[in-house]
Every structure is written in structure tokens, then in C-alpha cells.
Amino acid sequence: MTEEAERRPRRTRRHDPNRRERIAEVAEELIAERGLEGLSHRAIAERADVSLSSTTYHFADREALIQAALERAADRFAGFVRQWAAEHAQDTREQLAEALADSVMASLGEGRTGMVVEFELYLAALRRPALREAASRLTRESVEAMTPAVGPVLAACIPPLMNGLCLQVMTAPEPADREQVLTVLRQALGVTPA
């Protein structure tokens, strides 16, 4: 070994067992901020503070990044919906309508980023058959969680209704009216006015 080589600091490999997960998390963040068009290995590498080769090592192409982001969103949603259903298992239909209205309104605040990612990726499944299984899991988890409370038929109606209401309030030019959302949910759940 030459004297010069001995004086150079040795590069140590950074041990980072969570790198793949961090890359997938950043992919979700970028999708929420920029849409699918703004997702690239380079953008992820910069945001995650990893080398470009790390992103391509863990995810061969953009489609693999999109798939990982959708699976993360589906996992997070599955956990949320199971917890939500457990918390509201004994609710009356009126209480369920109130809780569902709160969930819709949360898409304007702390739940917005997650909802944007879910909608971006859900729509991506229209043109990407490989994403359809993960995308359909969002609906399956909701139906399974709601079935004990409202039965299978009504449980199957709730996910498309919630998707529509969330999209409507998130894209409305005026602030959403919780009472209007609640009226729709009461009607769907068969809550009769007092």
C-alpha cells in the first residue's frame, strides 16, 4: 500500500437497516407533494439523503417505487380502519354517522396528506394492473371492518361513499360544511331524523 493510500481516510459503509423503508416513505411524501409525475429516483435520493444507487438497488424502477408507496398506504389504512372499527363497534347508527363525518372532515386537516397519497395511488391503479390488488385492499379492509357494525351490504356501500365525500370536500372551492356531509351519511346509514 502506498503512503498516500494509507493517509486517505477510509470510507466506512454506513449501516442503515431501515434504508428501504425510508426510501418508500419519502416516495409517499413526494407523491403527496408533487403527484406521480414528481416521483423520481433522483428526487427520492435527495430527500432521503441516500445515494441514487441506493434507491435503484432497493427499487429497480419508478413502478416499484409506486408499488411500495401504495403498499405502505394500504398498510397504514388497514391499521387505521381496524382501530377505528374497534373504537366504534358499539356505536349507534347516529354515532357512526357522526364518526364517519369526522373522518371526512379530517381529510381537510391532519389526514389530508395520507388521503392525497391514497387517491393518487388508487387512481394510478386504473392504468397499472400490478397496483390493483393493493388498491383493492383499501376497500376490502373497510368492508371487513364495518360489516360487524352495519352488515355486509351497507358495509360495501360505505367505502365508495367515503371516497366520494372525501374527494368532494378536498376539492371544493369553498370550505366543506360538516352538516351537509353528516346529512348524506345519516341518509346512507338509515338514520331517521329525531
Check which CATH number belongs to the domain holding 128 and give it: 1.10.357.10
169 belongs to a structural domain: yes
155 belongs to a structural domain: yes
72 belongs to a structural domain: yes
Q: What is the pLDDT of residue 11?
A: 40
Q: What is the pLDDT of residue 6?
A: 55
5 belongs to a structural domain: no
Q: What is the pLDDT of residue 10?
A: 44
Q: What is the pLDDT of residue 73?
A: 85
What is the pTM assigned to this prediction? 0.80
3 belongs to a structural domain: no
36 belongs to a structural domain: yes
Per-residue pLDDT of the chain (194 residues; tens, 9 = 90+): 556 545 555 444 456 778 899 999 999 999 989 988 889 999 999 999 999 999 999 999 999 999 898 888 888 888 989 999 999 989 999 999 999 999 999 999 988 888 898 898 888 999 999 889 888 988 899 999 999 989 999 999 999 999 999 999 999 999 889 999 999 999 999 998 66
Q: What is the pLDDT of residue 194?
A: 64
Q: What is the pLDDT of residue 2?
A: 54
> Could you write out the DSSP letters of every residue in the chain?
--HHHHHSPPPPPPP-TTHHHHHHHHHHHHHHHH-GGG--HHHHHHHHT--HHHHHHH-SSHHHHHHHHHHHHHHHHHHHHHHHHHHTTT--HHHHHHHHHHHHHHTTTTTHHHHHHHHHHHHHTTT-GGGHHHHHHHHHHHHHHHHHHH-HHHHHHHHHHHHHHHHHHHH-SS---HHHHHHHHHHHHTPPP-
7 belongs to a structural domain: no
1 belongs to a structural domain: no
- Domain range for residue 97? 16-189
> For the chain, what is the domain count?
1
Q: What is the pLDDT of residue 102?
A: 96
Q: What is the pLDDT of residue 118?
A: 86
